[in-house]
Structure 1
Amino acid sequence: MRIHRWLAAGSVLLAQPALANGGGYFRGGVERAGDVAGFEPEETEKIRILDEKLTVALGQKSADVEVRYLMRNEMDKKVKVRFGFPVEESFDENDFGMPDQVENKKPDQPGYCRNYVITASGVSTAAKWQAEEKSGEQKPFKGLAGWLISEITFAPGEEKPVMIRFESSYPLKEWSVSDDSSTGASLFKYRLSTAACWSGTISTGRIVLKPAGIDPQELKVLKPVNRFKKEGDAWVWNFENLEPAMADDMEVEASPSVDTFPVRFGSSDGSEYVNRGGRWSMSHANYQIKASSTLPADGTHSYQAENVKTSRPDIAWSEGARGTGIGEWLEIIPEVSKPLAAIEIWPGFTSSEEYYQANARPKKISIDLNGEYQFSVDVPDRRESFRIPIKGYSKPVDKLRMTFKEVWPGSKYEDLCVSGVKLHVRLDKKPKIQPAR
């Protein structure tokens, strides 16, 4: 298990001693010299945010974040600003509820803020990591690991577009007792309050929270209250002349807590009862399966479609057609027809990272239910299971076909692989759970 430092995405912070209330983030001077000194921005009180557009695409394991600002120099002279983007600590937790330990070394830039990019007028700008030594000491700074610091120069009266983009992993909390297991809710946070440190109000803004591979019904805005409105599957907040405060800081649940229990102790079929935020289902591999093609066996290694029923990482189905596997398919016939809540797939050959990268993996899948309901889904390139929620179709499923429309190419082989497929059947009520042994 591991520690994540994920961006509590928010408007860049300033800590000048004489501006408004700064959202409570004022520090008032450098406290001591050196790399661990308190971060002190410069000249940000002279720049106003005219517009802020934040888009958060919430996936199953992480969120892709993009924020676009239009900033204006309020002065009639050139201004060079030094500012920081807040990075918030977030620990994975083990079975004992304690944060996992990691090697205590200082990174040049937080490795858990994946692919952090900042541009000004389309030109890439450097970002330097600096730790926040007041993390945990007082409320505004509590939980902040540090800052990604950049500098931008504005001409007199200049309006300049600034863009920040990154990927933010959700903190992982999981524990188990015997064969029972639990995973905490997937949470994303955004500190809008740090924008109070810039000049004036945010003139206009739009924040869009959109599902990207998660069930839209499970997406919840926990904080702030009474700001967001539903637009299709997304939650949207439009505002004008906002004076951001801590009450505006965001906390979003991308997916609920999940508890799993074996249907029968000692059973080898892997069937489980699943409680997702109070909604029950049963996951199973009780089905017949056939494939459009299969790679011939290599000695004792078989690549038959039946391999996906085990969800074992050391075996997989591999297609046997020429090319990358685009257009190949798996067809599943459940032993008993039931409405599906989701399909869970283990894309690629998951026995090791080496084998995973060497072979092709599904990137876009077309799902066909009963030959009458179709939809497509994008699959992230990760060596882990991916849940495909079934939306808008409640009939019992007699036949399911997955056609692979796009693939992540393998570094060594063209063969497209899938290591596991489970069906999640909807349950009307809580099943009888056997006590953990």
Structure 2
Amino acid sequence: MKQFTFCLSFIFSSLVAFPNGGPIDGIFAQIQGGIKMLNQSEIELTRENLNIKVYLNYFDVEVIYYLKNHGQSNLVSYGFPVDLSPYQNENEEDYVEGFSFTFNDEKLSYDNKLERGVQSEYVVAFGGKSYTCSELSRNWYLTELEFEANSEAVLKVNYTITANYENYNGGGMTYFSYYSDRSFIYDVKPAGFWGDGIVDQLNITIDTWIDISEEEIVIRGFDNFQIQDGVYTKTISDFKPKAYEPLFIAVDMSSLLNYDEVKRSLPSSVVKNIRCSSQLVGNYSPHNLIDDDKNTAWVEGVKGAGIGEWIEVEFIDGVLIEAVTFLNGYTKSKGTYITNNKVKSYKIDVTIEQGDSVIVEEFYKENEIPLTDRSLRPMKYRSNYYSMLDIILDNGEWCLSYPTLEECIAESGKIKKIRFTITDVYKGTKYDDICISEMKFYGSFMNSN
């Protein structure tokens, strides 16, 4: 008998980087082998323009520094560090692409220097947990800037950097993939080593040109951005870089990255029958679970919180069910989501048909499956609720190891019916009714390739 799995997955990729640059002590680097920032008191940073474009898996960055030399001609050693977390392979060179220095419209050559064991106070998140990156590998981009006496200059730094993220790939062990938020950290402190450490004006532009909403982006370190057409802008006068925490950007890309995956969901016509233990009077039928509308819901109708209530789904012949998900709570609005109960844990009974035999298996009877109480996230696409879906059953793409679906089903059987029983709830702020808005089914038709 095929053993079913629940949310098994593996890490695909993760990294984190902390870029920005400033004047360095070139002599110290030559003698000591290390690199440290060196204040250039006579060269003032009058303006810094930080322009960031957000893409699916990377960030495109342009930094323009407007500098003014109040002293004699000066050759300044300049370093732009990119820090890698201990989880990133130092030999992987494509985390930064298209790096360039342009000084007064002239492209500059640069050298690279790698430092290991760099101490850092930064805390980054991986897979919902926080880690302190106490020892980093720092890749320096090093060049020289030649200032004429009492002159103004413009330094431009361009690069594309891979986002900090984790992926869990579907296939085999799990039907689904998981995509964490894509994040980027920009340390502003090195800009404080010019002049008196005060920048006359800092301009930040974050262009989220892709179709993401305000709820899908988190910006920390700086607040009160102006927002128009997906572009976030902020200007700070008399900016003191050393007094600020790094700029942190995190973007939830799941609605875009999972769109193709969610399109593989089966139509509601695979459901032969759907029934429930009870329903609230009104338009709260279990058929609302398969109407592809997040604004409707099944609501149980018994007195109390709804513990012990169940939904049962029977499937038509000729379909292989590999996974089942549901949209927890009443997702019509933030109000309905907060005021009504949501499923906190459940158990599931699966009826499997194998030849002439019908077997009922009860999963997680002793260890009920817990669910996280999440905030309501945006769901822009009509059929794409992935950022809010909870997985009821995950059988993986297990039939891929068989020559045909028929052979797979003959040996392992196929799911004929599932019963989903609520064992605990998250209480709503107003109503004591359990609500579920949608159920989704994934798999194949037996006559498909």
The two structures have a TM-score, normalised by structure 2, of 0.50
Alignment of 1:197-236 (within 5 A): 197-200=193-196, 201-236=198-233
Going from structure 1 to structure 2, the CA distance change for 1:429 and 1:157 (only over 3 Å counts) comes to: closer
Q: Distance between the aligned counterparts of 2:152 and 2:83, measured in 1?
A: 29
C-alpha displacement at 1:209, in angstroms? 0.4
Alignment of 1:101-120 (within 5 A): 102=89, 110-120=93-103
C-alpha displacement at 1:258, in angstroms? 7.3
Gapped runs of 5+ residues in structure 1?
17-28, 92-98, 262-269, 273-281, 288-335, 341-422
The equivalent of 1:12 in structure 2 is 22
Read off the aligned partner of 1:183 and give its amino acid letter.
Y
Paired residues of 2:23 and 2:38 also in contact (CA < 8 A): no
Q: Distance between the aligned counterparts of 1:173 and 1:428, measured in 2?
A: 17
Read off the aligned partner of 1:30 and give its amino acid letter.
F
Alignment of 1:121-136 (within 5 A): 121-136=104-119
Aligned length: 262
Paired residues of 1:338 and 1:426 also in contact (CA < 8 A): no
Q: Does 1:162 pair with 2:152? A: no
Query: Which range is displaced more, 115-124 or 167-176?
Result: 167-176
The match for 2:237 among 224, 236, 240 is: 240
The equivalent of 1:30 in structure 2 is 28
Alignment of 1:53-68 (within 5 A): 53-68=49-64
Structure having the larger proportion of residues in helix: 2
Identity value in percent: 14
Read off the aligned partner of 1:211 and give its amino acid letter.
T
Alignment of 1:302-317 (within 5 A): none
Alignment of 1:286-301 (within 5 A): none
Going from structure 1 to structure 2, the CA distance change for 1:111 and 1:5 (only over 3 Å counts) comes to: farther
C-alpha displacement at 1:152, in angstroms? 0.7
Q: Does 1:174 pair with 2:157? A: no
C-alpha displacement at 1:90, in angstroms? 4.2
Read off the aligned partner of 1:153 and give its amino acid letter.
E
Q: Distance between the aligned counterparts of 1:271 and 1:51, measured in 2?
A: 43
Q: Distance between the aligned counterparts of 2:83 and 2:20, measured in 1?
A: 10
Query: What root-mean-square deviation, in Å, do the aligned CA atoms of Structure 1 and Structure 2 show?
Result: 3.9
The match for 1:283 among 263, 270, 278 is: 263
Going from structure 1 to structure 2, the CA distance change for 1:339 and 1:204 (only over 3 Å counts) comes to: farther
Residue 195 of structure 1 aligns to a residue whose secondary structure is helix
The two structures have a TM-score, normalised by structure 1, of 0.51
C-alpha displacement at 1:427, in angstroms? 4.8
Going from structure 1 to structure 2, the CA distance change for 1:32 and 1:137 (only over 3 Å counts) comes to: farther
Going from structure 1 to structure 2, the CA distance change for 1:138 and 1:165 (only over 3 Å counts) comes to: same
Query: Which range is displaced more, 239-248 or 117-126?
Result: 239-248
Read off the aligned partner of 1:175 and give its amino acid letter.
Y
Paired residues of 1:182 and 1:258 also in contact (CA < 8 A): no
Higher relative contact order by CA 8 Å / sep ≥ 6: 1 or 2?
2
Paired residues of 1:131 and 1:145 also in contact (CA < 8 A): yes
Q: Does 1:87 pair with 2:82? A: yes
Q: Does 1:149 pair with 2:142? A: yes
Going from structure 1 to structure 2, the CA distance change for 1:169 and 1:428 (only over 3 Å counts) comes to: closer
